[in-house]
Amino acid sequence: MELGWIDFSKSHKNKVLNVINLLSEPGAVDELGIGTIRDGFADLFFPGTSTIQTRAKYFLLVPYLMMEIEKEPLATPEKMMEKLHQKELSLIDQLKGPGVKGVIGEISGKNLKRKPSDIYWSVIRKYSIFKENQLSINNYFRIVHKLKLNKKRTRAMGKMETEEDPNSGDDANAYVGEFFEFWNFPLWHENFRENLTMALTKEEAEFLKERILSTVGKSLLGHVLKAQNTDFLEYKFFEDLMDYLSKMPPSIQSDYLMAKAFADFIEGAHIRYNLILSAYNEPKVHEAWERWVEDIHLHGSYDLERMFSLLQVKNMGQRKFLLDLKSAMQNRDYENMDEIIKQREIQLKGKKRAKTEDPGNFNYKEWVGIRKLEYRLPNTQVIIRDIFEGTGVLNV
């Protein structure tokens, strides 16, 4: 089946593509509507990261390409956007190679729908590599076009004495200095394509580290980079970071414990969800339940109100679902847990699309929905590793 949409705007299209990318990841489908809480915790620990980011290099490649376009002759905003996407596609073959991981478009090639600029623009703004954090790429290209056009018109009217301005050049460089005021990116140079690889140069790694520390330095991501704790990369699961707890600042310790406890708490709901879908006949799901239910007294004591306050959870349906779950856990009422889960899915999807509404007709083959929450830990470790290798903290 081919997916399509009415193309109201590029931002709408990107939102759809974002969902499609998330749905393609195993265990990523948010069947019970807790994704905003998961993302809220992830943003506390690893701000700016995303599950669809692949390598740190793209934090820099996108600015390189955009600033290259700014130095080119006058073009419409639409043409500049087209150029950006063409340049992004042209990098695929240059970057990919044996053993190279994380090249966006390596498989889809010229058919790539979601470009690096779509994926990384928000964090390029968040880390203040681009200073205007509310400006879209489309709108920025409109500004570039308008500034260049104004200068061209001014010259045509004879209001600029270009002969006395040896630095004015031609229209290809019009107002480049002013464009660059939008950027906090001193690394740009015309020869950035030479010997280009997915690995960060030392200069690039130091720059990206500085940007992260300057903007989100109090986060766990910032702490790890500042402390140069390479052992952080060895933890496979978020819950394993308990062994790293003593190295975290006290404020992060508290948030970590709350996030870990929530992952334990909500895991029970996802296990019950899979029990329902499997008609209670899948041994591996039963084993997972037996392990989880041993600590139900701890899960049922989770401080939801504190979490709601920390993450500013306002959605009343979400709050009620979690509070009802907690009550059922405290009462050891597993049938009620199942009913709460069924009603939650119906609330989110409607009866026709709710899988639990008719589990007898659902062909259960494997785990459905979210497993244990990892809060983007694996994705963040890739970014940290790239920076550590670039700065020389970690040997390649």
What is the per-residue pLDDT across 85-101, written as a single tens digit (0 to 9) for each? 999 999 999 999 999 99
3 state DSSP class of 183: strand
Let me know if residue 273 belongs to a domain: yes
pLDDT at 181: 82
Residue finishing a domain among 141, 171, 198: 198
CA 40 to CA 21: how far, in whole Å?
Answer: 19
Q: Tokens standing for 128?
A: 């203040």
> pLDDT digit string (tens) for 317-364?
999 999 999 999 999 999 999 999 999 999 999 999 999 998 888 899
Q: Does 38 share its domain with 102?
A: no
Q: Which domain holds residue 193?
A: 58-198
What type of residue is 237?
F
Q: What is the mean pLDDT of each run of 10 residues along the chain (396 residues)?
A: 43 47 53 97 98 97 96 94 97 94 95 96 97 94 90 65 50 53 91 95 98 98 98 98 97 97 98 97 97 98 98 98 99 98 97 91 92 97 98 89
Same-domain status, 193 and 209 = no
Domain count, the chain: 2
302 plus 396 within the same structural domain: yes
Which residues have a Cβ under 8 Å from the Cβ of 275 and sit 6 or more positions away? 282, 285, 286, 289, 338
Per-residue pLDDT, 144: 92
Q: What is the pLDDT of residue 156?
A: 64
Three-state SS for 192?
Answer: coil
pLDDT of 29: 83
